[in-house]
Amino acid sequence: MKLFLFNILFFLILCSSFSCSSKIEKENAENSIQADTIHAAFAKNFTVVKKGDLTILTIGEAWRDSKEKFQYVLYPKGSKAPNGFENAVKIAVPVERVICTGTSQIAFLDFIGATDKIAAISDSKYVFNEKIHKRIKTGNLAELGNDQGLNYEKALSINPDLVFAFSFGRTQSHKKFEELGIPVVMISEFMEDSPLGRAEWVVFMSYFFGKSDFAQKEFNKIAKKYLEIQQMSRDIPHEQKPKVLVGMAQEGSWYVPGGKSYTAQFIADAGGNYLWSENNEKGGIPIDFESVLYKGLDADIWLNVVLARDKKQLYSADSRYASFKAFKNSSIYSYTARISENGGYDFYESGIVRPDLVLADLIKIFHPQKLPEQDLYYYEKMKE
């Protein structure tokens, strides 16, 4: 009897030993798989690592001065979620139903042919995309309200695979989605300082839909076009570059883009002389009207005066605007050529993923002789 019990105990220990051994061998095999980093050409705020059939996406800074770190491990749908990666969000791909909370996200998905995967959006009044508006009208796409009052119950009811979210640090709506058990992916293209860096986030998003090869190929075409257009301004002498003023006053302050900002980069690439180019800020700089008037009085070109429909309305807002050289010469241009009925600017939508078209507009404005046959796409001249 004792011998029988001893044999059973020995057998159980042996099985357990084999089981542990197999588990260790499996883990060792998984750890031995080579990890290959795919380097972005222009974007600096995300990394992509391929490890076997896993794709590991990591965001550097989700918003300015963010202390939170965000990582996503994508694994093939139908297989088990990978072990480890305790601090990452694990997502089976390709996904089929997503929620978008920003217009640039819609543009990225439209670019890769995945707008049909969008199950719901927020702030639809800011959306330009006609396909999205048609789906809303036919009831094929849900609206969740705006960031101040998102309908989280409705979001949960549509059973999404994930939510594409963003934050400037002040609002934390992504945390509420997480509390509901909906996977959240932060999209932070706005943290990139270069136009091509922002556009390259289309590649980041494409991994969730199994379209990374397509996205990379198409993005490379855009980058090539952008660099070719940029080359047109390389040989322009500094004295021939127009002085450029941006924006207008709001509630007593004039927020001009910093010298290291996305807008400043566009102006430089288009052969413009941005008046605050020597500034080292990446965001907006609040300046009083008098200081802008002093520095921008002789600006040749005035961009992005979107709060006024025409010069008459601009003058009504503040008669001092009439003192600017650009006002007198009617050299005021804004990205108002493509706008929806509700006020959604395509400049902030497809313009994010098509910086080549934006750059072509700016070169046409600054140096029309460089693109004599080119028509403006996003921009238009302010009416009298």
Q: Which two tokens stand for residue 111?
A: 């670019």
* Domain extents in the chain: 35-224, 235-381
Q: Note if the bond before 94 is cis, omega within 30 degrees.
A: yes
Q: Which two tokens stand for residue 168?
A: 């400037």
Query: Which residue has 């102006």 as its token pair?
Result: 267
Whether this model's pTM surpasses 0.75: yes
Query: Which residue has 């694994």 as its token pair?
Result: 75
Give the whole-angstrom CA distance, residue 137 versus residue 262. 35
Question: Which element (helix H / strand E) includes 351?
Answer: helix 350-353
Mean pLDDT, 10 residues at a time, the chain of 384 residues? 45 44 44 81 97 96 89 97 94 98 96 97 92 93 85 93 88 82 96 96 98 98 98 93 96 92 97 96 92 96 95 95 97 97 93 98 97 95 94
Beta-carbon-side half-sphere exposure of residue 4 (alpha carbons within 13 Å)? 1
pLDDT at 12: 43
pLDDT at 123: 85
Domain covering 235-381 assigned CATH 3.40.50.1980 in the classification: yes
What is the torsion angle, in degrees rounded to the nearest 10, for the CA atoms of residue 209, residue 212, residue 215 and residue 220? 170
pLDDT at 272: 98
Task: Supply φ then ψ for residue 224, to 5 degrees.
Answer: -65, -45
SS3 279: coil
Give the whole-angstrom CA distance, residue 244 versus residue 231. 19
Q: How many other CB atoms sit within 10 Å of the CB of residue 144?
A: 23
Question: Which element (helix H / strand E) includes 57?
Answer: strand 54-59
| Angle between helix 212-231 and 355-366 (nearest 10) | 10
pLDDT at 171: 64
Tell how strand 118-121 and strand 98-100 pair up: parallel
Q: How many other CB atoms sit within 10 Å of the CB of residue 186?
A: 19
pLDDT at 341: 87
Identify residue 184 by its one-letter amino acid code: V
DSSP 8-state assignment for residue 201: H
Q: Which residues pair with 306 in a beta bridge?
A: none
- Please check whether the two domains, 35-224 and 235-381, share a CATH topology: yes
SS3 151: coil
Q: Which residues pair with 256 in a beta bridge?
A: 285
Query: Which residue has 């061998």 as its token pair?
Result: 25
Q: Which two tokens stand for residue 312?
A: 């008459």
Assigned CATH for 35-224? 3.40.50.1980
SS3 104: helix
Beta carbons of 90 and 82 less than 8 angstroms apart: yes
Distance, C-alpha 148 to centroid of its chain? 21
DSSP 8-state assignment for residue 376: P
Which DSSP string corresponds to 160-180? Answer: -SEEEE---SS--HHHHHHHT
End-to-end CA distance of the chain: 106
